[in-house]
Chains A and B, each alone.
Chain A
Amino acid sequence: MTAVIDKPVRKPRPWAAPPRPAWEEEPSKAGLAGKGIALAFACLAILFPIWIVVVTSLSSRKTIDEAGGLVMVPKGITFIAYQELLSGGQVTRAAIISILVTLVGTLFSMTVSVLCAYGLSRSESFGHRWILMTLLATMFFSAGLIPTYLLVQSLGLTDSYLALILPSAISVFNILVLRGFFMGISQELIDSARIDGAGDLRILWRIVMPLSRAVLAVITLFYAVGYWSAWFNASLYLNDQDMMPLQNVMIQLVQRQEAPVGLGQAIKTGQLSGLAIQMAVMVMALLPVAVLSPFVQKHFRKGMLTGAVKG
């Protein structure tokens, strides 16, 4: 079932430029330099703030005071901010809540989306058109914030983690991407499995999903990032401060400059740097995303392009 991959004859040299076609003129030195500077500027504009945040989070109170605030050059590394934040208390709880909501939510979203995408992947199947239309139409309108708020309230989801998962559990766009990919899988392969007695669930699990690993990875990342980044539904539907996920706690600590519950004293007396604490919370929010997304990077294009909606 795997495609045959042509082995390159020469050892690939990924940092070197491949040979230029004969008709293409040699680039000018100035042009190359200009391109290099533009690219370096774009990358630095993204990496420099992240560098400052990470370095400051790892700096001691003394280093931060000497630097007059944010630290650009690290002078000794200390994990004291992380130790304090992760030794129980508000931020630890928020991080655990965020991780759990992300895991459960992503699993739920993926299950529902993959099932639906497969169910819609044969364009002659029963009710196919109507179901597709029902889903597609939601991309063109929104019922509005207030009616949705009242609905979630009426369903009794207030103060429940279900309110963070159910209202935004599926993205029709993601389902369309999955469906587009499933439709590209050879019909002969599926038919032959059916002849061997495989039902739809088994075909999905044993044939369609293993052939779609790349797109499944991308959509899983999209859903997981969505849950990890979400804060608005929590601010809307949760009243108990102890239930708040990490992003909402980050709003309190960084934007409103409040001290984390229980650490205020240590910051006032100068044992801890309030700035390092803020930065450490930010690093906790960006770390999972920054670690995971490059792994899926080469497949992003598959997750972005649905092509025209067929059938």
Chain B
Amino acid sequence: MSHSTVPRSSTEAAAPEKTPVASGDAIGPREKPPAGKLTLRHRFRRDRVMVLMTLPAVLLVLVFNYLPIAGNVVAFQDYDPYVSDNGVIAILNSPFVGLENFQRIFEDSAFWNAVENTLVLFFVQLVLFFPIPILLALLINSVVRPRVRAVAQAVLYLPHFFSWVLVIAVFQQMFGGAGMLSQLLRQNGYDGIDIMTNPDTFPFLLTAQSVWKDAGWGIIVFLAALASVSPDLYEAAAMDGAGRWRRMWHVTLPALRPVIALLLVLRVGDALTVGFEQILLQRDAVGPGAGEVLDTFVWWNGVRNQDFGYAAAAGLIKGVVSIGLVLAANKVAHLMGEQGVYKK
């Protein structure tokens, strides 16, 4: 296809109005037809290549996101993993026990401990993590030298691309029993400390890791919102006598409000997921008393203890409550006049 033959203007593109669209098939321009002009069959023939292109993704989603929903029946079974290596055959050969798994869960203190840890972590992270990207974004936004800004952003974004394994390894080398901090303390005549295995400070350790890894990355959405504020607003405010801080309060913060609301909604909707990989990697170091959350509870009982029915029941409880939280958080956002994740 040589470039000279490509018509650039829309008048040229609209030229072949004489060719009937339907018979044009894949060749005719895909213009919006008046409603009801094309039958479904014609539309399918026209768009079959487009539909075909989505097929691999749709298949993957159907198999790995939708199909496993059916697997939640094991929550109502005394699932026996030793019947067969094939999960489907094992499900068909396992007896149904009704709500017995759920009864056991509600009487299990380990489960309630996991619930408590999950909620504590959610709140600690919400209070200590959430404001930091906003403050960092305001800081970066006030840096006017383009090169300084680019370098600072490159550094701040970097840890987001590190794996959790690496981030925790870095923290271990800094704050572990043989880490930098202990080394410095010992060299100066104090006892070394091991923050990595201390259950009391675990929520704060996790938050510190999240901040180190993702706070810098979190500024992107805020920077975009800040960039969309018209400079005229600042000028007008300055003309009216508003100083630096009043401009921030009356111009900058209102511009950030929708983004903050959206991110809060997303976070609350996802409240029961508090960093599965990160916590699973450190669960053994601090012990399940402090390190067990809902997701690791499911992992421990299912994958480790092979008590699949029990673990699936715990997972199902979490899943159902999570969907409720997403819907509720959106409802609240709509009531407050903000746009949530989806529209009304």
Q: Which residues of A contact B (CB under 8 A)?
A: 14-18, 20-21, 23-25, 35, 38-39, 42-43, 45-47, 49-50, 52-53, 68-70, 111-113, 115-116, 118-120, 122, 124-127, 131, 134-135, 138, 140-151, 153-155, 158, 166-170, 172, 175, 188-202, 204, 206, 221, 225, 228-232, 236, 247, 250-251, 254-255, 278-279, 282, 285-286, 289-290, 293-294, 297-298, 300-301, 304-305, 308
Contacts and interface: CB of A to CB of B under 8 A. Distances in A.
A175 B57 CA distance: 9
Q: Which of A145, A198, A247, A294 has the most CB of B within 10 A?
A: A145
Q: Which of A18, A188, A247, A305 has the most CB of B within 10 A?
A: A188
Q: Which of B29, B88, B281 has the most CB of A within 10 A?
A: B29
Nearest to A123: B32
Contact of A151 (B49, B64, B187, B298): B64
B163 A229 contact: yes
Interface stretch (B68-76, B115-123, B199-207): B68-76
Contacts of A200: 26, 49-50, 53
A286 B166 contact: yes
B312 A143 contact: no
B32 A251 contact: no
A18 B144 contact: yes
A237 B320 CA distance: 26
Interface string B115-155: 00000000000000000000010011011111110101111
Which secondary structure dominates where chain B touches chain A?
Answer: helix
A4 B228 CA distance: 23
Interface in B145-189: 145-148, 150, 152-159, 161-166, 168-170, 172-174, 178-180, 183, 186-187
Given A166-B64, A247-B163, A286-B166, A297 B154 contact: yes
B299 A145 contact: yes
Given A195-B16, A195-B29, A150 B71 contact: yes
A150 B54 contact: no
Contact of B65 (A138, A154, A229): A138
A153 to B, nearest CB: 5
A308 B48 CA distance: 26
A289 B50 CA distance: 34
Given A195-B27, A196-B6, A229 B57 contact: no
A135 B326 CA distance: 17
Interface stretch (B39-47, B103-111, B249-257): B39-47
Given A232-B280, A236-B303, A141 B144 contact: no
A145 B302 contact: yes
A102 to B, nearest CB: 12
B102 interface: no
B56 interface: yes
B230 interface: no
Given A23-B239, A115-B56, A153-B86, A192 B162 contact: no
A125 B51 contact: yes
Given A43-B152, A199-B49, A147 B57 contact: no
B117 to A, nearest CB: 17
A42 B216 CA distance: 9
Given A23-B239, A143-B65, 12 more contacts: A14-B146, A25-B243, A112-B56, A116-B54, A119-B52, A126-B51, A144-B68, A148-B64, A150-B91, A168-B64, A197-B27, A254-B172
A150 B308 contact: yes
A15 B147 contact: yes
Given A146-B302, A151-B67, A188-B13, A172 B61 contact: yes
Nearest to A250: B165
B161 A38 contact: no
B166 A112 contact: no
A193 B64 contact: no
A191 B156 CA distance: 42
21 contacts: A14-B150, A18-B146, A21-B235, A23-B239, A43-B155, A47-B155, A53-B173, A115-B56, A118-B53, A119-B52, A144-B298, A145-B295, A147-B71, A153-B86, A190-B30, A194-B30, A195-B27, A200-B26, A206-B1, A289-B161, A290-B158
Q: Which of B70, B88, B159, B169 has the most CB of A within 10 A?
A: B169
A202 B27 CA distance: 12
B95 interface: no
Contacts of B67: 143, 151
Given A112-B56, A194-B28, A304-B221, A285 B166 contact: yes
A236 B52 CA distance: 33
Contact of A43 (B9, B150, B156): B156
Interface in B199-236: 212, 216, 220-221, 223-224, 231, 234-235
A70 B56 contact: no
B18 interface: no
B27 A167 contact: no
Interface in B252-299: 276-277, 280-281, 295, 298-299
B13 A153 contact: no
A34 B178 CA distance: 34
Contacts of B144: 17-18, 20
